[in-house]
Structure 1
């Protein structure tokens, strides 16, 4: 069976027609099976374009690996491992960007990348099942392609387990800069540049503050925020989205099988479709902006004022809050200390790093049981800890879980501590809620899967919120403050689903439009 199927090969060949300069694929191989696969991949790609040359005399310290190098030697990226699965798009874009095809990023941001001084050697540990890794790898590859002072190697953690252990990598993506920890989790080009170029945040804040007031300002770029912005833009009113990252929680969602009319998709793919749809309209999107404050108008005729953590500000006649939710934490000793050092929240992303190890899943709802089922195929043993007296997952999931020989489910169990040796997780303690007896479980990882909490703390008492922090809304998505609307997982609307969030975002937009035409009248 070929390393990539014919349809994929045809698409790749079409992409390579966009190359603007010669590139070389320099592979470092041995006699292993993975090296044979990499050799096949390189030999498959090279004949697709006269501008691609294959070289099997590489001298990289990681085997197998291959460089994508420009003919002038001033632009190169490296893959230590096979960039397939979620990383195949990173391979395609790496080929194109080293080959001179311009990235789809703002020119001002790309100019900032090109003007970076100093030496920047980035290393990213990824897993092929991680949905967040491609964003980071592609951003760093752009930097390496645009600036000869920047280099980047993407390392498959499952393939280089010894290095993962040595460098204490417990989550993906994890990035090192010049040998020192730089960051972990999802990051895009603007966020990375904000960390290495200290002046970029001030520039972004100044750019925001210079904007004229908007009719509608949508806070949040997930399904609810995107739907709201599309609906208001279609009404012809001046609209902007401001978000920490477009897509929100959707970017952490693996398989989606209940989005009506689409039998199956994945979070990042649906996010890209939302982004394309939003880009069809005359509206502005400000990403990489964390909102810090929302001020109500001081008097009639004044505007709402929104301030970001970077110091920028925007004004608007109305606001739609769609800031979504995030993973809940259990709040026990050791959880914060060992986050990304054995405490994880995404089994799809980080599961491969725990191959052959013992892990726990905390939570017996659908997400917890699904995580335990997925991890059981990778790790040596899974201990599922459920606080309630019975698991709450769907019966079909529980039946599957019970059929797995390397899973132990414990109910009526309260997690009280996650322990470690100062560098990584070594165990978990729970209390039997019936007897009060405490038990210790030796393990290397703990995946927390106990649901979501709304991203609403920053609002304070600006609008009325429930005891759980959700923004209280009525059937029109109106909040306690006229002119402020809310939609999606951050609100009191039950059933946190993508399709519901989109509907609520659309409803909030229509309500905002109605508010504006009546206010103007």
Structure 2
């Protein structure tokens, strides 16, 4: 099951295991059970402290296996083969079940141990989803640390019956005690906050008590991270408040144009960014959403949890989000057939009919990827020509299960409890037509995250922050960088440069302001 190279790496990791671990497998006579049997055998062979028990007469999902301390209660289960992005989840579960300390602050560990109540989590994933492992690993850790919590990872492609019954059409989807708990990427702190009543209030009070910053960066993507590093290196009091550290990059699968790095993935780049920022004295306040920007002698940033922060200078680096179609049915069926990440949710539509909205590079790439999974892809482009690179168009038109419709304006998403089709208008004839399908992937660009800034600084008609060559906004002392600004070409490497420039400009502003004072 595992090749020699992976076995060698796994053996090195498992040398950290100091206590006996037991893997209990629930199997049947199917092919996937045989694959799981081979995987578990390969894992167990890499450490004398790992033992395996096979069961065929229990009531657990088959194939699945639990991981736990030998002789103790196993509260972590994998229903499916944890390969691909989930292989790391398996390794961490093995290590942490044996008592290997997680990379989590001591106060967070104590908070997890003190959570009261009974929590049975189930997470539906796809092995190609790069957001799923964060959720799986967070819930596994909760289960390992707290005897009241249990978690099962479920491969949606393997347990299609459950996916259909629960009408799951996006991953990760998390159930708690049989009820839907959440969907999409969630961090450990976010999950704890949802089940530990009072956690949000405590965090708000903690933030509100902070002293004013010399520079406060709003946003934790490439621009925000670069701004934080450049500011901290100047020796000034630096804070960064972010709704999600990494921002849109966390949803980016392949990155091949980051100069000096031939190929990487979004989550991997974000992990490196966060590690770099943490090398400096930067106060990171993650999972905090800005609600209002109040300019003044000390600029105030009010947060949705009720807390507020003040700073002498502010750098806005809030990035952008997926642009929506804004047609009837889109919000109603979001997560029920309407999706925005083909890498994450594509496997759930295996053998089904889907549409991709958008004929730029993102849309055409999505259609190409999905064509290898689904029964048929219909790509709809508003204009009369596709905007994607020629090489991508050539590949697209070579695929037998792809239909391209140009001059098509999507007007409605239809369905009952999930998507069953879409309506579009042929812009060349004004005729309204319908396509029967099970999934719609929207790939029509980005919108700047600037809603909370309205009325405080000048925005363009597209909602972007208007900045000059130094990243200065219309208000002295407030700067902006990255995809939320009017700077052209929304690229990671450009955002980093703009974030660095904004930090230098903010520092220059602080120096000049102190001299004038």
Q: Which one of 332, 336, 341 corresponds to residue 337 of structure 1?
A: 332
Q: Distance in 2 between matches of 1:7 and 1:514?
A: 51
Equivalence map 1:39-54=2 (5 Å): 39-54=37-52
Query: What is the DSSP-based 3-state SS (H/G/I as helix, E as strand, rest coil) of the residue aligned with 2:484?
Result: coil
- Give per-residue Cα distances to partners, 1:35-63, cap 9 Å, x unaligned: 22211211111132232211112635211
**Following superposition of structure 1 onto structure 2, how do residues 269-418 of structure 1 map, counting pairs within 5 Å?**
269-297=268-296, 302-418=297-413
TM-score scaled by length of structure 1: 0.97
SS in 1 for 2:151: strand
Deviation at residue 30 of structure 1 after TM alignment: 2.0
In terms of mean alpha carbon deviation, does 276-285 or 54-63 score higher?
54-63
Are residues 69 and 209 of structure 1, via their aligned partners in 2, closer, same or farther at CA, if it must alter by over 3 Å? same
SS for the counterpart of 1:79 is strand
Does residue 444 (structure 1) correspond to residue 442 (structure 2)? The answer is no
Q: CA RMSD in A?
A: 1.2
CA contact (8 A) 1:386 1:413 kept: yes
Aligned partners of 2:307 and 2:441: how far apart in 1? 36
Deviation track 1:473-514 (CA, whole Å, cap 9, x = no partner) reads 011011111111100000001110011111111111111111
> Quick one: distance in 2 between partners of 1:466 and 1:392?
24
More displaced stretch, 262-271 vs 29-38: 29-38
Cα distance, 1:460 vs structure 2 = 1.5
Instruction: State whether structure 2 residue 482 is matched by structure 1 residue 488.
Output: yes
Gapped regions of structure 2 (runs ≥ 5) = none
Q: 1:278 to 1:60 in 2, by over 3 A?
A: farther
CA deviations 1:336-391 (Å, max 9, x no partner) are 00000000000000000000000000111110010000000000001111111111
Map Cα deviations across residues 101-139 of structure 1 (whole Å, 9 max, x no partner).
222222222222111111100000000110110111111
How many angstroms does 1:410 deviate by? 0.4
Measured against aligned partners, the alpha-carbon deviations of 1:132-186 in whole angstroms (never above 9, x if no partner) come to: 1011111101110111110000000011111110111010000000011111001
2:498 aligned to 504, 510, 513, which one?
Answer: 504
CA contact (8 A) 2:66 2:74 kept: no
| Alignment partner of 2:53 out of 46, 52, 55 | 55
* CA–CA separation in structure 2 for the residues paired with 1:263 and 1:11: 23
Task: Tell me the equivalent position of 1:25.
Answer: 23
Counterpart for residue 424 of structure 1? 418
Secondary structure of the corresponding residue to residue 461 of structure 1 = coil
Per mean C-alpha deviation after superposition, the further-off stretch among 46-55 and 169-178 is 46-55
Q: Distance in 1 between matches of 2:311 and 2:187?
A: 27
What is the SS of the residue equivalent to 1:56? strand
Tell me, yes or no, if the aligned pair for 1:75 and 1:148 is still in contact at 8 Å.
Answer: no
SS at match of 1:426: strand
- Residue 191 of structure 2 corresponds to 192
Instruction: For structure 1, list consecutive stretches of 5 or more residues without a partner in the other structure.
Output: none
How many angstroms does 1:308 deviate by?
1.1
Q: Distance in 2 between matches of 1:307 and 1:51?
A: 52
Which residue does 2:221 correspond to in 1? Answer: 222
Say which SS state the counterpart of residue 379 (structure 2) adopts. strand
Distance 1:128 1:497 in 2: 27
1:417-458 CA-to-partner distances (Å, cap 9, x unmatched) read: 00001x100000000111110101000000000000000001
- Residue pair 1:68, 1:76 contacting (<8 A) in 2 also: yes
Secondary structure of the corresponding residue to residue 189 of structure 2: helix
TM-score by length of 2: 0.98
Aligned mates of 1:307, 1:256 — CA distance in 2: 34
Query: What residue number does 1:177 align with?
Result: 176
Matched, 1:433 2:406: no
SS at match of 1:307: strand
CA distance in 1, matches of 2:9, 2:213: 41
Moved beyond 6 Å, runs of 4+: none
TM-superposed deviation, 1:472: 0.5
Of residues 503, 508, 513 in structure 2, which corresponds to 1:514?
508
User: Which range moves more in the overlay, 56-65 or 106-115?
Assistant: 56-65
Q: Would you say the 8 A contact 2:79–2:155 is kept in 1? A: yes
CA distance in 2, matches of 1:69, 1:40: 19
Q: Distance in 2 between matches of 1:219 and 1:497?
A: 19
Query: How much has 1:33 moved relative to structure 2?
Result: 2.2
Of stretches 81-90 and 322-331 in structure 1, the one that deviates more from structure 2 is 81-90
Q: Secondary structure at the match of 1:438?
A: strand
CA contact (8 A) 1:294 1:307 kept: yes
**What is the CA distance between 1:20 and its match in structure 2?**
4.2
Higher mean Cα deviation, 47-56 or 371-380? 47-56
Count of aligned positions? 514
Greater mean deviation of Cα atoms: 69-78 or 511-520: 69-78
Q: Report how far residue 279 of structure 1 moved.
A: 1.3
